[in-house]
A and B are shown apart, each in its own frame.
Chain A
Amino acid sequence: MSPDSRAAPLSTRNSWHRVVAAWRRFEAFHDEMFVAPWRQGLEREARRQDDTFRALVMLDALGVENPVAYETMELIPHLVGDLHAWHQRMGQDTFGDPGTCC
């Protein structure tokens, strides 16, 4: 096989790789430019629902009597992790007694 005949498929393969790489870059740009705001909207909606749920679970901590506190109490440990971000998002710089959260 002459060197020329080997070079041709290699160059075609390189060109193909370049095309694929350019397509991937364009995909990444497109996702960041057009899809990201949309996904952001989805995440915002999911967070809004989470916030409502968290408020219901933590009614007692907010000073409202919760008729199903016994059932929801076991969920509280799962919600403590991002408690700080939540109360700040709700407009309260600190949460409850000093040391409870921050």
Chain B
Amino acid sequence: MTLWISLVLHALAYGSILALAAQGEVLAERAGVINLGVEGLMALGAVTAVLAADASTSPWLGCLASLAVGAGGALVLGLATVSGSASQTLCGIALTFLGLGLSAVIGHDVAGLPVSATFTSWPVPGLSQVPVIGALFNQSPFVYLAFGILPVIGHVILFRTRLGLSLRAVGENPGAADAVGIPVKKYRLCAVVAGGALAGLAGADMTLSVMPVWSEGMIAGRGWIAVALVIFCGYRPVLAAVSSLLFGLVMSLSFFGQAQGWPVPSPILNMTPYLGTILFMIIPALLLPGLRRVMAAPAALGVPYFREER
């Protein structure tokens, strides 16, 4: 029993990283911009969180720095692809390379050293005292944010407010949105920047809570898994949180297997998150072709908007 609880706790912690990045990506993609630079932004967020937390001995300032770096990186992407209408695929890949490379250069001196200020878990009064499931209510603030607060806020904003309606209009049919007076490029730019800030925060979640040390290559494709997850969850904030937990469980399987002493070599176990993600992309498309209509991407996703061609 305790083993299963520990598996779920592991999944919550690792899933929160994916959930934060995925919420940001949902926002950007709903506005019609596909940000393939999540991986790079997460790396930059992770390393700046460590540097800022070490310098200030406050994990909060580390968080703030990672938010700022994520937003800044996404702003560069937004200026190039939204304001300048350059290729989103290309700029996203470039941002990933740039982020991974820069973070390694910046973090060269702190690589492998323990982070001086990290987040401790916050027990929810009352609930955390309950036997067995009490551990679920004794989590880092990132977990509450990723699975409790953000999905609700994201859902309400996207589907219950005028702001969200406009944002979705910009992603579905920017020409029509423009015609009714919605500033298309402004909405897209803001969505990308906010999404990038969350990707940076996902990096901080890693280095300030889940595994408090910076090392090169520690993001290990989680940014790409988050992008895959956004497609899997059909661009919906609540489903994004649920699927993050599912993906988190798959990621935890390798740790679970090692702890249990499964007779499988660890490099093979380490493949499971990536294999799992590929299966999660292929199997729904294979078995439920009808679902593709319901879970479809925003119609103008990845297409730059030119007012002249409206």
Q: Do A and B come from one complex?
A: no
A residues at B contact (CB < 8 Å): none
